[in-house]
Structures are given as C-alpha cells and as structure tokens.
Structure 1
Amino acid sequence: MAVIVSADGRAAYVADSSPGDVYAVSVPALTVMWRQHVGGSPFGLLLHSGHLFVSLFAAEAVLELEPSSGARIATHRVPAAPAVLGVDDMNRVIVAGRQGSLASLDGASRPAGKGFSVAISGHDVWTEDYDRSFLQRVGDGHRVNLPLAVHPFWIAPGGPGKLLVSAEGADEDADPGAVFQFDVMSEAFTTLTSPRDPDQVLQSGSQVLIAAHGDREVLAIEGTQTRVWARGAPAVALAVVPGMDAALVVVNDHE
C-alpha cells in the first residue's frame, strides 16, 4: 500500500495492492473522489508533470493516470516487480525493480540492488538489496553493507547528504528491525530506532516519521526526542499534507 498527497494538499492518492485499486481522496474530508481498478498489485505512486504514475508490482508495468479522474493515459512496460518510483536529475521517471533493476520509462534499464526502493542524494541514485542487506549506488555499483543483520525495505532522502533506511528483522512480525540515517560521504550509519517491521520512513522538516507496522504506531523522531503517534494503528504508509502540519497514515491489518 502507498499514499501520496498533491502539492496543494487538497487530494491524496492511495494504492491498495491486494484488490488492485487506486483511490483519489479529498483532504481533509477524506471523501473518495474516484476509484480506478488497475490490477497487478499497485505498489508505488508518483505525481510528476501533471500525471499520476502507478507501478504494478505483479504486472511489469507503470501506468500513467489523469489525477482528476483516474483515466488511463498510458502504460509503460518495465522489468519485473517494479516498486518505488522517483525522478532522476534528468527529470525522467524511474522505478526500482525487485529483480535488480532501475528502469526509466523510455525503456532504459540499469543494474541495481534487488530491493523495492530508490532514493536520490545529490547526483547519486541509491537502491537497496533486501536479501543481501546492502545499499547499492546505481552507475558504479558501489555497495555499502548495513551495520546490522536486518533487511532494508525503504530508503528515502534524509536531508543534505543523508539517506533514511528502514529495515526489517529476519522475522518481520517478531524480530526488531532498524531505522538508520546514512551519511553518503562518510558512509556511516546512525541507528535512530529499532521497531518491529518498519515500513515507510520519511523526512518532514526536522522530524523523521516512521510507519512502525509491527509495533502498531507511527514514530516521530526529532533530535533526541521520540514521540508516538497513531498508537494502535498498523501503519504501512505515510504522506505529509502541505500547509496543514499533518500527515496521512495508511494502515493494513492483514499484511
């Protein structure tokens, strides 16, 4: 599951992987404006150049939708198991593939970590390898091993020269995972917290927000202080609402 919010903060888009649906929801009322059945286990969402891009993890495709209606504009074929979407420094839409690729929608593909996520720091594009527990820089293939025996699931920008990494334990439901801050220059990791099954992590101003699915809460870390939000909610995805000092939380009790 995934969620993103429009730049004006008035609409949110949610991908529900199991039934294969994408929703547009008004903010703050949270009223469904449209639903589009796309199939193929929608995984990643991206708003770019006026279009909504949706990766289909089980269908080797990225869809382009019209954000106001959900109408299909185009279908782009990509390598197997496309997951998180991003935009590179050439303004191209890119997508990380679980089978070890980073593809752009013009058909080009480069080797990457066999993971789910992609993040850009400066001019460098980073991916993760879930099973082998390392980060991999796209282009030169440089790898950096995680400092603990955990499996990286999500990476995201974490401020200038930093990445955020959420990683699951061997048994994601029972074992502690970890959330790290990674310094791109020194390649040093700082462990921020160790929740069970952390899913999405993101930077919001001076705060790091974590969907701690296994602990059924959202963590907000600022400096040395950690606060718990949405206690009891099996959070899997987060999105900050511009101009509202608020975040949307997507929950999944069946994962």
Structure 2
Amino acid sequence: MKRIAYITILLLLLVACNFPGLAAPSPQKPAVQTVTVEESTATQAPPPSATFTSLPTFTDTPTATSSPTLTFTPTITFTPTLTEIPSLTPSPTFAFPSVTVNQQAHCRYGPSKAYLHAADLYAGDTGTVRGRFQYSKWLYIKFDKLNYFCWVAPSVVDVVGDITKIKMTEVRLVGPSVLYHPPRNVVATRDGKKVTITWDQVNMTSDDDRGYFLELFVCQGGNYLWWTFSYPDQYTTSYTVTDEKGCPFPSSGKLYAVEKHGYTTPVDFKWPAP
C-alpha cells in the first residue's frame, strides 16, 4: 500500500511540473509560453556607470627628523696670569787678572823652560791671564803687544786679580812639522833607579835645528812628577833620568824632534818597569 501511495505522490508531482496541460508536448510543434510583463510606471534608473577616478600617486615622504642644532663651542684660550717681571740687573763682566812684566824674560810655547821660545818680554809689558797649567805654576798670557798667546813663569810677572778663577789649559804645541820626521828607534832601558832613553839622530839644517824635546812622567821620592827636558841641537841622542818605585801611576814618556817652525809628531815609547 505504502508503495502505491509513494508512486501516486510522485506522479502528482510530475503532473504539477508540466501544468497547465496534462498531455505531453507534441514533438512537431512545441508549445510557446507567453509571459506578459507589466511595465512599471517608475522609471528605473540605469545602473550607474563605473567612473574611474585616478587615484593620487602616493609619494613616500620621508619623515622629518629634527636635527640637533649645532652649537659651536668657542676654543678656550688660556690667558696666562701676568707675572711682574723683575728688573734685570746686568751681571758684572768677568775681568781677567792683569799682569805686568817685572824683568826681561821669555814667553814660551809651553809651561816650562824646555819649550821653544815664543817672544821676548820686557819690564812694563802688560797683558791678561787666560789660563793655567795642571802640572806647573806657569801662566797662559795674552800680552797686549802680541796677537797670540804664550806661557810665562809666574816669577817674571806681577799679577792683579784672582788667578784661581782661571781654568786649566792644555798645551797646544806648534806643528806638527812638515819638514822633518819624528825620531826613530826610540828605546828606554833601566839600570836600577836610572832610565836611559836613546834614539836615532834626525838630520836637520843648522838654521832649522832646535834639537829634541822630552815630556816624561817619572816617580821620585814617592812623587809622581811631570818632567820636561830639551836639547838645543840634533847631535845628542840620549837622556838619563831618575825613576823609582812607589807611585800609584806608571811612568811614561814622549820624544819630539824640534825645528824652528815647531815640533814633529811625538813618539810614545815603552817605559821599563822598576
């Protein structure tokens, strides 16, 4: 029964779908369904046309960042504190001790009588002391009448001033000679307390010949002595000196040949031990 009822309902639904006619449509002439549409009195506005409005171009505007205001800091200049400058008191100019020759004498190229003659001095000659020597009391003088310096014994001049403020001065020998060679084969030999120095003769013209000069350091009586000696001509070629034990420094010697223009280069020779 239920099945028949379902079929009946299905048929009714099919009929309702083909209403108003119950017959199946003719295949030769299809039915034309006319639909009458009543026009509304209201005017229907046409659909709006899409109007394209160009959008503004967006430009990335950088965000303004406020820059700090530059403030120039002035350079700090330190103004020195003004200090009152004391008035300068001129220092007194050093005055070299003055000398006056008290007798006829010789001025020499070194601080002993063994050195070459440099000038003749006469009583009343004046000058100033410019130097002293470590191993003797001779003075290095600039005499007013001479354009060079020379040495004098302190006994031949009267000194005004303090010579202890004068510096020690080294001996500057004239030379070396370009005409003659130094002595050769210089030998020192010892016989007890006596040391004898020998050498070969240096041949010089009689006009040039001024002999030989010895500068020694020897020990005598426990004293270490600066010792000078000279021969006036070329013909004596040996010299003997006393030299003993008992001094803190070794004895030594130098030998020069001497001509009228000056000294040859020195010869240092080996000194025999006591």
| TM-score, reference length from structure 2 | 0.20
Q: Normalising by structure 1, what TM-score?
A: 0.22
Pair member with larger Rg:
2
